[in-house]
């Protein structure tokens, strides 16, 4: 699923191209620097959540904007490269982990069911890495692996909505944490399965 396929996604990209991209270009910032800036924002997410859900939300948002802007900048300036794409994808895995650590911090601060929550977070991380790994292996074999409901842009949007709800409804934080984590785990696991089946069918077609 691509953000460009929906009206809100197209509006988001147009906003970046008209407002954020010119600001970055005028300062001579390279795409790789934007990529690293996104990583810095992501690393700060757990610290942001430890202060307040608003700061966690803001940092995920900034990291997401940087993650989108680096590719747009690379294409616009002609600096697109295979290494840049490789670096972006690699650092995305680190960012994904720190995003989840931010939500884990909220369980830790609550002090209840921390072990159970930690186990679920580990399962989510495995699912996310599997989604990425399956796609990479498929593309290395010359196949299409970009399918499933929880692509990375959708996962980031999901985390933003989750953080927003935690900020707006602090009185129901415990329920929102468990519901959000459970739905996220189920959706990511399902997506990994979707990709495996999708790629298996392509191998079968080759034979």
| Cα angle: 74, vertex 155, 197; to 5 degrees | 100
Answer for the pair 106, 47: CB distance below 8 angstroms, yes or no. no
d(CA 62, CA 68): 10
The CA-to-CA distance between both ends of the chain, in Å, stands at 28
Answer for the pair 106, 63: CB distance below 8 angstroms, yes or no. no
- Is 92 among the catalytic positions? yes
In the set 67, 88, 92, 96, the catalytic residue is: 92
Query: 59-86 burial, b if ≥16 CB within 10 A, otherwise e?
Result: bbbbbbbbbbbbbbbbebeeeeeeebee
d(CA 22, CA 170): 37
Answer for the pair 145, 162: CB distance below 8 angstroms, yes or no. no
Answer for the pair 150, 191: CB distance below 8 angstroms, yes or no. yes
Residues designated as active site: 92
């Amino acid at each position: 699923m691509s953000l460009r396929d929906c009206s809100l996604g197209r509006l988001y990209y147009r906003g970046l191209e008209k407002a954020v991209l010119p600001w970055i270009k005028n300062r001579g910032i390279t795409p790789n620097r934007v990529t690293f800036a996104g990583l810095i924002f992501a690393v700060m997410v757990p610290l942001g959540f430890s202060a307040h859900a608003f700061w966690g939300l803001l940092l995920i948002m900034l990291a997401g904007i940087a993650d989108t802007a680096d590719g747009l900048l690379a294409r616009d300036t002609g600096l697109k490269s295979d290494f840049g794409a490789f670096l972006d994808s690699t650092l995305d895995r680190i960012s994904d982990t720190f995003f989840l650590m931010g939500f884990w911090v909220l369980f830790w601060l609550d002090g209840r069911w921390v072990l159970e929550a930690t186990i679920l977070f580990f399962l989510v991380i495995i699912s996310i890495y599997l989604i990425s790994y399956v796609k990479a292996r498929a593309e290395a074999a010359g196949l299409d692996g970009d399918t499933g409901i929880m692509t990375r842009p959708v996962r980031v949007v999901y985390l933003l909505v989750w953080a927003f709800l935690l900020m707006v409804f602090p009185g129901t934080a415990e329920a929102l944490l468990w519901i959000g984590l459970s739905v996220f785990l189920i959706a990511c696991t399902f997506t990994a399965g979707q990709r495996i089946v999708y790629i298996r069918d392509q191998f079968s077609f080759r034979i």
